[in-house]
Amino acid sequence: MIIVIDGPAGAGKSTTAKAVAKKLGIQYLDSGALYRALTVIYLESGKDADSFFKKLKDKDITFKYTDEQFRVWLNEKDITDKLRSSNVADEVSTVASLLKSRERVNELMREAVEHDTYIAEGRDLGTAVFPDADLKFFMKADVNERARRRYEELLEAGEETSLKKVKQNILERDYKDSQRKTDPLKQADDAIIVDTTNLDFEQQVAQICSDITDKL
């Protein structure tokens, strides 16, 4: 069984999906973290597309949700701590717009969900990656609220930044993610819309869990 949550940056997909996974005892998959891992490879390649594509073929990419953290390894080296850095955030939408990046991430995700029940989050999961998902949610929230949440997250992680910079990055990513040719950020016609701007978190998790258990 596969349940997907799509939506723009900072809409609350990760925190919600993790809480749902914990409550229902199912697996969690963060597709954004996989695009971020590819961005680490892209930065290591000096932002050169050919060198990036070559490295992409050679790298073994593995991931696991453990101790409430989605961890990613490149050739067995844990790169989780690099995924949320500003360097990566600034380039990830560019990397995610490349067809070869999307093919690699989609292949990794489809392989993973074959053997277990997953809740996965991203931008194009309900429309492109898992169009036959058992249940689809689309999460959205006011951009100021999304920026505030992401800013607090970064501060907690010890990243030096400003609210203005975070909002700017979110707006740029939203634009690039929704305008790109291949599999843009888009709400699936059959997705349940959840606006989290003023939602109580516990209520929101309970509602999604109840929608899922109704389906089981």
Query: Cα angle vertex 129, ends 124, 132, to 5°?
Result: 110
- CB nearer to ligand C5P: pick between 129 and 208: 129
Binding status of residue 72 toward ligand C5P by CB under 6 A? no
The reply, when asked if residue 32 is annotated as ligand binding, is no
Amino acid at 33: A
34-63: contacts with ligand C5P (CB under 6 A): 35-36
**How many chain residues touch ligand C5P (CB under 6 A)?**
14
The reply, when asked if residue 9 is annotated as ligand binding, is yes
- Which of these ranges, 29-37, 45-53, 54-62, 72-80, lies near ligand C5P under the rule CB under 6 A? 29-37
- Which of these ranges, 57-65, 121-129, 161-169, 206-214, lies near ligand C5P under the rule CB under 6 A? 121-129
Lateral strand order in the sheet of 118-122: 27-30, 118-122, 2-6, 135-140, 192-195
Q: What's the rounded Cα separation, in Å, for the pair 19 and 95?
A: 29
Beta carbons of 176 and 182 less than 8 angstroms apart: no
**68 φ/ψ sector (left φ>0, alpha ψ -120 to 50, else beta):** left
Out of 92, 139, 141, 212, the residue judged to bind ligand C5P by CB under 6 A: 92
Minimum separation from the CB atom of position 33 to ligand C5P (A) = 6
- CB nearer to ligand C5P: pick between 66 and 216: 66
Q: What's the rounded Cα separation, in Å, for the pair 121 and 123?
A: 7
Binding status of residue 167 toward ligand C5P by CB under 6 A? no
Minimum separation from the CB atom of position 135 to ligand C5P (A) = 17
Binding status of residue 196 toward ligand C5P by CB under 6 A? no
**How buried is 157 (Cβ within 10 angstroms: 0-12 exposed, 13-18 middle, 19+ buried)?**
exposed
Query: Cα angle vertex 135, ends 131, 141, to 5°?
Result: 95
Beta carbons of 32 and 120 less than 8 angstroms apart: no
Binding status of residue 173 toward ligand C5P by CB under 6 A? yes
Q: Which residues bind ligand C5P (CB under 6 A)?
A: 9, 31-32, 35-36, 92-93, 96, 122-125, 173, 177
Binding-site members for ATP are 7-15
